[in-house]
Amino acid sequence: MTLYTEQQKKVYITDKPLGSGGEGAVYALDPRSEIPDTDKLVAKIYEGCFGKRLKLEYLQTVLADTVRHISFPYELLYDKNGKCKGFVMKRVTGVSLYETAFIPKLVKILGWNRVDLTILARRILERFIELHQVGVLMGDINPFNILVDQEKLLPYFIDVDSYQTYNEPCTVYTEEFLSPRLTEIVGGSEAFLRDMEDEYYAITVLLFKIFLVGKNPYARSGDGSLQAHIKQRDFVFPRGYDNNQNMPRGPWQRIWYNMPERMRSAFYEAFHDGIYRKPAEWRDIVIDYENGLREGTYPMVIFPKGENVGLGKHLLSMNFLKVGNNNKLRKFYNDRGCIGNQKKNYAVVEFGTNSIRCFENRTNARAGLFIVPTRHFLCVDENGMMDITQLERKLDEQKDRWSLWNNYIGGIRPAVNSIHAFGGSLLRNLTNREEVLALLERKLGITFGIYEMEEEVKMLADYANKYRNMNHSMMMLDVSGAAMLYCYQKQEKTKGFSHEYDKLGSKLLIGWFFSTSSEDTRLETKLHEHDLAVEEKINKIRTRENGSMIMAFGVIREIRKEKYKQEPEKWSLVKLKEYCNKLTEDLTCNRQLVNQIYNEFYHSDMLARKFELRLSLTVYIKLMEKVKADSLLIMPVGTGEVCMKKQMKQI
């Protein structure tokens, strides 16, 4: 085939196409052609007259000296009758972005790391910035319109004739990259004008698929079509400490949480909220990520490991529990008889998150408190199910302690004839709590009841009233265990209170911390991102007014100077932050990876308490900052002790 340039130079097209598409085919140039460097050029020839001459001339003008690594129309080609039949462009060698970064098996063969991905993404963004500066949109953004030199990590933009100019629409599209707005208006038509928001959306999808190795942002486990999820913005990847059971199976959760919080937030806001960043903004995010990777802040591996002995499926993941689901709770019942007139012969037993605590008091005998540490929360899986076999084994390991306890309350010494046994947030929220209660009754001979969350909060408020300053509104907070209890009291003399809940219990924080990490997650980075995740959740909590006095119960009492003093201890916000920083230094000393602290945490009660305190302190600090409280009253007891004291007071 013989065609002609504007200057009437002959261009000879080979017979066999190199490739073809919906509009035409690409051919090599015969060396006899009258233009130079024929071996470096190819020609795209249309199958019909598509009326693209004006568009091609515009692209030829604006792209020639402004956009790098793009296969723009080098020469327009005409038949002997002067009809535009196509154009000559630079021959680009490379592999499609799809085969480079979107297929996990091929990515592993390449041997790339995450720095390679950031370099590639940054250079792609630079091409988009240059395109947009001359008023051109790619329009049909998809991985086959970008070829990659895999050795040099250079992206080349192709299929330029389909790009959108000021008044010439892009006539093709790839459904996966259509914005939610366009999925509503396309209606089978291919000729429509995109706006910049549509382009930004498609670029964000492209970036997501680069960093999550081909995974679509709306992919998920479960039912439903991809297009339905896109229209509904049903994005299942969480920004911080939130769980979605529809997150895709496999390595995707580990990949997601190993990216910087800033990048995750940008993706979340785009796909969940419809807030799109410009390519220049994305470039800054990617550059920060690249710098963090080079500095060792984030893992270099593309596929982080996770299923190891330190981070197995029993991830302390109580994050699936529906805390506050109080349906069909077992109320208090005592088969040894009701608490009655023999007020000095009683026992109060609490099934807590870490241990079982047993307080007994008998006539003419010294009161005693037995603590049987079993760390029950370690038996809870990611679905809120407690492993019955594991729990029974933990109880058997403390057999001697139980024998001592049973000597006081069992048949040998039947003087204790009243037992009040209760459980709080852990028992309340177990998926298989009736099975657990049956085991406890069989092993311990005690029938347990369970407090409603409202009951716990009410007892917390009643206990704190004697320390209340009537010149301030007051917030009471317990971050221990499986739930955060939050009680607010007004300035009036009434004992009115309200409660709210968010997933900020200390054991939940531990579960989130480990379950969102991998073997390669840096400990210092994860602590920082933990603080950001907690701050996000605190910002969602409704508070009545600023300047509240805050009283803290539970795990935070570990930092009290006078541990045995039965009065609150006042700490300033500055002092809390200093202590939090000190804990961070202690925890990260000689430990670089999260996995290192996990292995120690599992076997060291002292380290476990320090680590739990560090995670919990963030909750108090962020809440104080939100309500502008300058100090914190740290109480000498936790909710469990408050409940025990309340019951003993009633006996």
Whether the pLDDT of residue 393 is over 70: the answer is yes
Of the pLDDT bands very low, low, confident and very high (cuts 50, 70, 90), residue 309 is very low
Whether the pLDDT of residue 231 is over 70: the answer is yes
Question: What phi, psi does 632 have (nearest 5°)?
Answer: -130, 130
Q: In what order do the strands lie in the sheet with 24-28?
A: 10-12, 2-4, 75-78, 84-90, 41-46, 24-28, 19-20
Cα(280)–Cα(288) distance, integer angstroms: 13
Cα(631)–Cα(633) distance, integer angstroms: 7
Whether the pLDDT of residue 137 is over 90: the answer is yes
Question: What phi, psi does 475 have (nearest 5°)?
Answer: -120, 135
User: Are 146 and 96 contacting, i.e. CB atoms less than 8 angstroms apart?
Assistant: yes
- Looking at residue 471, its pLDDT comes to 60
Q: Which residues contact 450 (CB under 8 A, 6 or more apart)?
A: 329, 330, 331, 422, 423, 424, 427, 428, 433
- Looking at residue 58, its pLDDT comes to 87
Domain ranges of the chain: 2-90, 95-295, 346-450, 454-650
Q: Which CATH number applies to 95-295: 1.10.3720.10, 3.40.50.300, 1.10.510.10, 3.40.605.10?
A: 1.10.510.10
Average pLDDT over the chain, rounded to whole? Answer: 83
- Same CATH fold, 346-450 and 2-90? no
Of the pLDDT bands very low, low, confident and very high (cuts 50, 70, 90), residue 333 is very low
CA distances, 66 to each of 141, 405, 554 (Å):
20, 82, 63
User: Are 570 and 629 contacting, i.e. CB atoms less than 8 angstroms apart?
Assistant: no
Whether the pLDDT of residue 272 is over 90: the answer is yes
Query: Which amino acid is present at 646?
Result: K
- Looking at residue 612, its pLDDT comes to 92
Of the pLDDT bands very low, low, confident and very high (cuts 50, 70, 90), residue 649 is low
CA distances, 292 to each of 262, 527, 590 (Å):
12, 15, 20
**156-160, 203-207, 490-494: least confidently modelled range:** 490-494
Q: Which CATH number applies to 454-650: 3.40.50.300, 3.30.420.150, 3.40.630.30, 3.40.50.1950?
A: 3.30.420.150
Q: Which residues contact 291 (CB under 8 A, 6 or more apart)?
A: none
What is the per-residue pLDDT across 447-506, written as a single tens digit (0 to 9) for each? Answer: 888 888 878 888 888 888 777 765 667 788 889 887 788 887 765 544 445 666 667 888
Q: What is the fold of 346-450?
A: Nucleotidyltransferase; domain 5 (3.30.420)
User: Are 336 and 150 contacting, i.e. CB atoms less than 8 angstroms apart?
Assistant: no
Q: What is the mean pLDDT of residues 525-537?
A: 94
What is the per-residue pLDDT across 109-131, written as a single tens digit (0 to 9) for each? Answer: 999 999 999 999 999 999 999 99
Of the pLDDT bands very low, low, confident and very high (cuts 50, 70, 90), residue 149 is very high
- Looking at residue 336, its pLDDT comes to 39
Q: Domain spanning 2-90 has what CATH number? A: 3.30.200
- Looking at residue 358, its pLDDT comes to 80
Query: What global pTM score does this model have?
Result: 0.86
What is the per-residue pLDDT across 40-63, written as a single tens digit (0 to 9) for each? Answer: 899 999 876 556 788 888 888 888
Of the pLDDT bands very low, low, confident and very high (cuts 50, 70, 90), residue 19 is confident
Q: What is the mean pLDDT of residues 22-28?
A: 83
